[in-house]
Structure formats: structure tokens, C-alpha cells
Amino acid sequence: MRFHFTLEGLLRVRKLLEDQARERLEESMMRVSALEHRLAEAAEWSRQTADSYASPKALPAIEMHFIESVLRQTREAIAQCQRQKLAEEQRAAQLRAAYLQARRERKTVSTLHDNALRQFQIEQSRRQQAEMDDHFLGKLLHSRHHPQQDDVGDAPGAQST
């Protein structure tokens, strides 16, 4: 007899939903990581530009104005990137909660599957043991009702050659 889990379809759906939720979470975490990398690069570039702006050698006014403009735009870009990162972190937190919920639901069905399989194996083992017991008892009863002669040649009245 083969094991059949009545909720097999539900288990497959739960696994699929869990995998999809995990993939969405991983994508979101990669976007957060990319934004963090962009922020770090922009901050480093801004620091280097500010350092060159503050150098003791005199710069023409047009260069100073250009550097100030670039620094302002960079700060605005950094602020925008930080807002995006915050929004993506919030989205990742929601996706993490959805993933954990999907995982719990899959684990619940997996536990039901494991319990059903274990119960099936116990019942299967009991059936096999009962079959072996019946077979042994049948042999025992047969041997009691039909005793076998150990050796035909040793029976009384037999001639030896």
C-alpha cells in the first residue's frame, strides 16, 4: 500500500507561496544593499569633492560655484537615495513578515504531512507484523495437526540396508 497525503496539493501550493515570498524578500534586500552601496559611494565622492573645495589653493570663482552646485545636487541625490532606501527597508520588513507567515503556513502543512506519514508507517508496520504473526500461527497450527515424521527410515518396522 502506498502512502497518500490528502493535502498534498495544499503542501505544494504552500511551498510555492513560500518560495515566491522568499524570492521577493531577497530581491528587496538586494535593492536595499544596492541603495546602501550607492549612498556610500555618493558620500565618499561628496567628501572628496568637499575636501578639494576646502583646499588651501585658490580656485577661480566659476570652479567654486560649479563645485558648490555639484555638492548641493549630490546632497539632494543622497537625501533622495536615503528616502528610497527607507521606503525599500519598510517594504522589505513587510515582505519579511509575509515570508515568515508563508513559512509558518507551509511548516504547519509539512507537520501534518510528517505526522500522517509517521502514522501510515506505524500502521504499515502493524499490518506487516500481523501478517507475520498470522503466518507463524498458521504454520504452528498446521504442524500440530499434521506432525511430520522425522525420518522414514527410523520408523518401526523399516528395514535398513
Per-residue pLDDT reduced to its tens digit, 60-119: 888 888 888 888 999 999 999 999 999 999 999 999 999 999 999 999 999 999 999 999
Are 14 and 39 within 8 A, CB to CB?
Answer: no
Closest residue by Cα to residue 131 from 90, 139, 57, 84: 139
pTM over 0.85: no
Query: Would 67 be classed as within a structural domain?
Result: yes
Joined together, the cell numbers standing for residue 126 give 502493524
Query: Would 124 be classed as within a structural domain?
Result: no
- Domain extent, residue 44, equals 8-106
Query: Would 125 be classed as within a structural domain?
Result: no
- Total domains in the chain come to 1
